[in-house]
Every structure is written in structure tokens, then in C-alpha cells.
């Protein structure tokens, strides 16, 4: 045993000597370097950054937005891991090798700014917003006190004020959150705290059984939040929706009454403006009447659809939003502010956010500072470190103004309606029958949901295995488009509806030629199925 310990000690000593004698780029051993010198070489670092930025401009912002280039360079996971050489080591690598790694990361990543990236509810690029994102990273500050983030404390307050005005509130509160799911969870936590403030000190054991109401087409974060906050999935009650995915107010009222009769305490209705799949808008005015009747907190998840508030033509979709208690809104989606940019807006003027979330850490939030301590906003958040997410939106808003953002929203609707009209003229494109507005009128929003029926299945809708075969079409087309790199679009089932495509058209880079390409490509990829 003594011999083994001695050998291990010798090995540790050898490793230590190796580290001491490790020669750096300046050819001097580490232990001989002047301790008054910084470890970072600014000249070398800034040269590397300039070279890396050239690669970003070329690979991501030039090639990555060129319709002649691929959306993705598909590789299987094992091959990709080998190509990227992902392991980290004791010694560093030379500049040229690092720059090649930057190029490889750009090459093999999905080009979400590409006009043919239709896969998610984010994409495209706004260069002013991107400049704000670069600047945010370079400044590397934390949005919790005025002393370390004076510019951004004031900027966030102003941007939130502008968003609240669009909702219809002249006063209120708010905060930028790390994603819409967190915004929805904050709203749920605030609603519970307002109703039962003792939960902060005594915990959930001191509360009655609570109930939440939402639609089955609401975002899954409602369920996650209920589980995370200890309310429980069984206490999330789903309200019926119509054929366009919109909550039915009469069923909401009935389910609230039923919940009360079962000795539960309803406290929150979570509405949706712009459901993830169909793009449905819940009837907020009617739901507000019911929330007033039962004295419930009304939250609107407008992460996807909130940007219609910029549009005079389309803001009617959110009529009644001013009656809500809270609104979640993600400008990184339809406005293309860049990930992540997620605001939680509150009508409250009683400082409920801070009351609910504060821990009064004295090493940060001293009350005898030389400036107005109300500008130390960090205790409104459950986070300590909080990234600056307002600059990207502020700079973009400054650049194009509210009218420019309105134009983006209106153009997205025009593209969606053009796409639907073209689908009606082509054989094989079948819009979801449940979305009656597609067939009789126009799409409610910029989500277009459809099946592609290949030639081999046309005219066989009544056969026994039709649905089973149709369900396999979208996954095969998706695999083909990704492996060829031509475009990306998502698919999913919904209720008893088998796999169908959902395309969202909102990027300011899009043109009608891209809509035509989309349809042509679906046909090309699926014609032999």
C-alpha cells in the first residue's frame, strides 16, 4: 500500500512540474512569467476576434441567408462528433486551428436565418438587433442593479413601458425573462401569491387545492409550471376548443363552477394568443368577463401572437387583452429580435413582482446606496444573474420604428394568405379540415397547417389504411429535405389528426418566390411516396 501511495505521489509531482514548465506562446515557462502581466493578450485576442467575425459574416450572414446555399449540412451524430473533435484537453490549440473550429461550427449548424428555414417560430435576421446582441455579449453585464447596468436598467424600463402601451396599459410592471415558458411560470406564481401571500413563507402545505384553466392547445409550459410550482398536473383543467383551436368561454365557465363544487380553488385562467400549432387566438373579451365574474387572474400567453398588437389591421385578434392581469410576449419570434427576447408584462402597480420574488440579499440590494434603490430591479426575478435582453429589441425598434414593425407583421399575413391560395390551386395539398377559416375565408394567423397527399394516396381517402399511410408521409419528406439541406419545416399530429406539416411565415427576408419554392419542394420530395 505504501508503494502505491508513493507512486501516486510521484505522478502528481510530475504533473505539477509539467504544468509549471508548460511553455506559453511567448516561449517563457508559466512560472517565470511576470505576475504583473495579464494572462490575456489583448492584441492576439482582438486579432482572433476579428478573424472569427469574418467567418461569421461569410458563413452565417452571407452564405447562411443565400437561397442558393443549403439550410443545413446534415451529418449523423457519430460522424458530426468526429468532425468537430469535441473533446477538451490540457493544452490549448493554435489560432489557425481554432479559427477552423469556428468555421466548422458555422458550417454544420442549422442556418436559422435562411429564407427556407420554416421549422420554428423564430428565424430570419434583423441586423440592428444582431448588433445589439453582439454589444450585449461584449459588455457582459448583469441586469440586477443600477450600479453595474445603469444603461440597461433604464432601457429595460422604457422598452417594457412601450410594450405595455401596445397592450393598452398606461401603468404597470414587467421584466424580461429567459424564455416564454419562464414568463408563463412567473405569471402563475404571481397569481398564486396575490391570492395566497402566505405561500412564500409557509409553502404549499398551507394552501387549499388550487386549479388552473387553459386550453388543450396551450403551450406545454402551463403544465410544466403547474408541476414545478407544486400545483400538480391533475389540477390543470383543459377547456374545450372550437375547430380553430380557440377556447370556448361557455365551457370555461362550466368547468370553473365544477371545480368549485369539488372543493378546489380556481385562481388562474391561462389564455393563448397564437397557439403553437394552429395559431388560434382565444376570445379574450369573453374570457375576461368570466375571470371578472369568478375573480380569477387572467394571463395571456401571447408569446407567438403578441406582435399583432403592432398592426392596425390585425390587433383585433387580441381584443380584450387590456383586461388581462399579465401578458407573456416573445419579440424574438414574429418581430425577429433574436433569441432570446421574452417579456412578461403586468398591469399590477403594487410592486407584486418584487414582493413575490424578493430575498433582500444585503450584499447586492443595500438600502443606503447613493442613488434611488428602486432602480435595483434584480429582486423582481427568481434569477440572480440575468442577461440583458432589451438592447436587441430597443436598437431594432429605434431603427425601423413601430411602423416598420407593423409592416413586418402585415407582410407575414400577406405571405400566409398567398401560400393558402396557392395550395388551393395545387393537387395534393390538403389544409386541415378543422380550420374552417382556411377553406372559407383566410388563415387567422401566419400558421399554415396541411397534409401533402402523394399521388399514390389520392382518391383513396376512404380506405382502411389511408390514415396510417398518410401519417408516414410528413416524416419521410422531412428526412429527405434535411438530408438534402434544401429547407426545414416542422410536422406533428394533433388530437386525432395524423402527422401534418405546420409552416410559419414571418421572416422579413421572405418573398413570394420563397412561398412558391416551398410548395414546389414539398411536391418534389413527396411525389414518389
The tens digit of pLDDT for each residue in 120-140 reads: 999 999 999 999 999 999 999
| Structural domains for the chain | 5-69+73-109 (3.90.1150.170), 142-387 (3.40.640.10), 398-526 (3.90.1150.170)
pLDDT of residue 251: 97
pLDDT at residue number 37: 85
> What's residue 8's pLDDT?
59
| CA atoms within 13 A of residue 527's CA, in its CB half-sphere | 7
Closest CA to 133 of 305, 302, 303, 332: 332
E strands of 380-434, at which residues?
429-431
Q: pLDDT under 70 in the chain at which residues?
A: 1-33, 433-442
Q: What is the pLDDT of residue 12?
A: 54
What local confidence, expressed as pLDDT, does residue 503 receive?
Answer: 94
8 Å CB contact between 120 and 447? no
Q: Which pLDDT belongs to residue 34? A: 75
- Main-chain dihedrals φ then ψ at residue 213, nearest 5 degrees: -125, 130
Which pLDDT score, from 0 to 100, does residue 435 have?
Answer: 40
Q: Could you report the per-residue pLDDT of 247-259, keeping only the tens digit for each?
A: 999 999 999 999 9
Contacts 24+ apart (CB under 8 A), 476-481: 476/526, 476/529, 477/452, 477/501, 477/522, 477/525, 477/526, 477/529, 480/525, 481/521, 481/525
Amino acid at each position: 500500500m505504501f508503494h502505491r501511495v508513493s507512486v501516486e505521489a510521484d505522478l502528481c509531482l510530475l504533473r505539477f512540474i509539467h504544468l509549471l514548465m508548460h511553455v506559453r506562446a511567448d516561449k517563457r515557462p508559466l512560472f517565470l512569467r511576470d505576475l504583473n502581466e495579464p494572462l490575456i493578450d489583448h492584441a492576439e485576442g482582438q486579432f482572433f476576434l476579428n478573424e472569427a467575425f469574418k467567418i461569421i459574416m461569410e458563413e452565417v450572414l452571407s452564405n447562411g441567408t443565400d437561397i442558393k446555399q443549403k439550410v443545413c449540412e446534415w451529418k449523423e451524430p457519430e460522424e458530426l462528433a468526429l468532425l468537430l473533435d469535441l473533446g477538451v484537453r490540457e493544452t490549448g490549440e493554435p489560432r489557425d486551428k481554432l479559427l477552423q473550429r469556428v468555421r466548422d461550427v458555422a458550417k454544420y449548424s442549422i442556418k436559422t436565418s435562411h429564407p427556407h428555414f420554416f421549422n420554428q417560430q423564430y428565424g430570419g435576421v434583423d441586423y440592428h438587433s444582431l448588433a445589439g446582441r453582439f454589444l450585449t455579449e461584449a459588455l457582459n453585464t448583469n441586469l440586477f442593479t443600477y450600479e453595474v447596468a445603469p444603461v440597461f436598467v433604464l432601457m429595460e424600463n422604457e422598452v417594457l413601458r412601450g410594450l405595455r402601451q401596445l397592450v393598452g396599459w398606461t401603468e404597470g410592471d414587467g421584466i424580461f425573462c429567459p424564455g416564454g415558458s419562464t414568463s408563463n411560470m412567473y405569471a402563475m406564481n404571481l397569481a398564486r401569491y396575490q391570492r395566497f401571500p402566505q405561500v412564500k413563507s409557509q409553502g404549499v402545505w398551507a394552501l387549499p387545492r388550487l386549479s388552473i384553466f387553459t386550453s388543450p392547445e396551450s403551450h406545454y409550459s402551463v403544465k410544466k409550471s403547474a408541476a414545478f410550482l407544486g400545483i400538480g398536473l391533475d389540477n390543470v383543467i383543459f377547456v374545450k376548443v372550437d375547430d380553430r383551436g380557440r377556447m370556448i368561454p361557455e365551457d370555461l365557465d362550466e368547468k370553473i363552477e365544477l371545480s368549485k363544487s369539488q372543493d378546489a380553488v380556481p385562481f388562474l385562467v391561462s389564455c393563448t394568443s397564437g397557439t403553437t400549432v394552429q395559431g388560434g387566438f382565444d376570445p379574450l373579451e369573453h374570457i375576461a368577463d368570466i375571470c371578472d365574474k369568478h375573480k380569477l387572474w387572467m394571463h395571456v400567453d401571447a408569446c407567438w401572437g403578441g406582435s399583432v398588437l403592432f398592426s392596425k389591421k390585425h390587433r383585433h385578434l387580441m381584443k380584450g387583452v387590456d383586461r388581462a392581469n399579465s401578458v407573456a410576449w416573445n419579440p424574438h419570434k414574429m418581430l425577429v429580435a433574436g433569441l432570446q427576447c421574452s417579456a412578461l408584462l403586468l398591469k399590477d402597480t403594487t410592486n407584486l413582482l418584487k414582493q413575490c420574488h424578493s430575498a433582500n440579499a444585503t450584499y447586492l440590494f443595500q438600502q443606503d446606496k447613493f442613488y434611488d434603490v428602486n432602480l435595483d430591479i434584480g429582486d423582481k426575478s427568481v434569477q440572480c444573474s440575468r442577461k440583458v435582453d432589451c438592447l436587441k429589441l430597443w436598437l431594432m425598434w429605434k431603427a425601423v420604428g413601430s411602423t416598420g414593425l407593423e409592416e413586418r407583421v402585415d407582410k407575414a399575413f400577406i405571405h400566409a394568405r398567398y401560400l393558402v391560395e396557392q395550395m388551393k390551386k395545387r393537387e395534393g395539398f390538403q389544409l386541415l379540415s378543422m380550420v374552417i377559416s382556411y377553406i372559407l375565408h383566410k388563415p387567422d394567423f401566419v400558421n399554415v397547417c396541411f397534409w401533402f397527399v402523394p399521388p399514390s394516396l389520392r382518391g383513396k381517402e376512404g380506405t382502411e389504411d389511408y390514415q396510417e399511410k398518410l401519417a408516414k408521409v410528413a416524416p419521410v419528406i422531412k428526412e429527405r429535405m434535411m438530408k438534402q439541406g434544401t429547407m426545414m419545416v416542422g410536422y406533428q399530429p394533433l388530437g386525432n389528426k395524423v402527422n401534418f406539416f405546420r409552416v410559419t411565415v414571418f421572416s422579413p427576408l421572405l418573398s413570394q418566390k420563397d412561398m412558391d419554392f416551398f410548395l414546389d419542394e414539398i411536391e418534389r420530395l413527396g411525389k414518389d411516396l
